[in-house]
Amino acid sequence: MTIFGRTSGLEINASKSSIFFGGVSNSIKQLIFSDTGFVEGSFPFRYLVVPLSPHRLLANQFSPLLHKLDSAIKSWLGKHLSYAGRLELLKSVLYGIVQFWLNIFPVPDTVIKQIICLCCNFLWTGTVSRNKSALVAWRMVCLSKDEGGLGLFNLRALNNSFLAKHIWNIHLKAYTIWIQWVHHYYIHPHSFWDTEAHPSSSPLWKSIINFRDKLVEMGGGQSHVLSLMENWSSSTRPFTAKAYTFLRLQSNPVH
């Protein structure tokens, strides 16, 4: 770290730095504390506004996301916007904030329901609180325009499409540090499709395995799912866009 500081011209501020341990004896910890001047950090901690933890995040630990959505809505004069104006803000701003989190975590259903509640209230009333009933059920709002909806994302299907991308990369043994670690720690010497999650597995790994099993059931078997994913991967559209189309609620086109 000293060499890095001299080379980059950046000085490490020990008072603003923390260190996290796993499987390290107390004597080694004390030596590290003595050499670095750092203090031991605790989970969860925030990195780029996102909470990180080796344990499953509780619903209340998604409060930074909900607070950010709430603050954004309150900063707009939503009551003075048309439905079309609110819809555009939903798509371009609120869903952009949400998608960043969905891309990282399997988000609990209770949190997704709270996000939908905020978005629904804003679309129909221009505020974060409901003062009149929604004109259309949210599942209908999330249908494509061809199907009579407004083209908003189904958040659960979107979250699952990112998990599907993880599954495909793991199957391909994509050359990333995390996937190489997963194969070494969780899968080897078995196939990914035969591997089970254990009580000691990470929350993300448990979610991936659970969704893998659900995807195999939805797709009619492992071979069919692999064919689907091969098609999603070779398409000109992004993999997650094709996966989302498969996973979302669909309806008959409106003529």
Predicted confidence (pLDDT) per residue in 185-204, tens digit: 999 999 999 999 999 898 89
Residue 177 lies in a domain: yes
Q: Check pLDDT > 90 for residue 129.
A: no
Look up residue 64 and give its amino acid. P
Other CB atoms within a 10 A radius of the CB of residue 92 amount to 9
Range from 40-44, 155-159, 208-212 carrying the lowest mean pLDDT: 40-44
Residues 129, 67, single domain; the answer is yes
Query: What total of structural domains would you count in the chain?
Result: 3
- What does pTM read for this prediction? 0.83
Please report whether residue 207 resides in a domain.
yes
Range of the domain at 27: 2-42
119 and 200 within one domain: no
CA distance 16 to 214: 43
pLDDT of residue 78: 67
241 and 174 share one domain: yes
Whether 109 and 170 share a structural domain: no
Count other Cβ atoms within 10 Å, centred on residue 213. 13
Beta carbons of 249 and 154 less than 8 angstroms apart: yes
Place of tokens 């129909």: 124
Position 51 in a domain: no
Is 175 found in the same domain as 100?
no
Q: Do 79 and 105 have their domain in common?
A: yes
Is 16 a residue whose pLDDT tops 90?
A: no
Residue 255 forms part of a structural domain = no
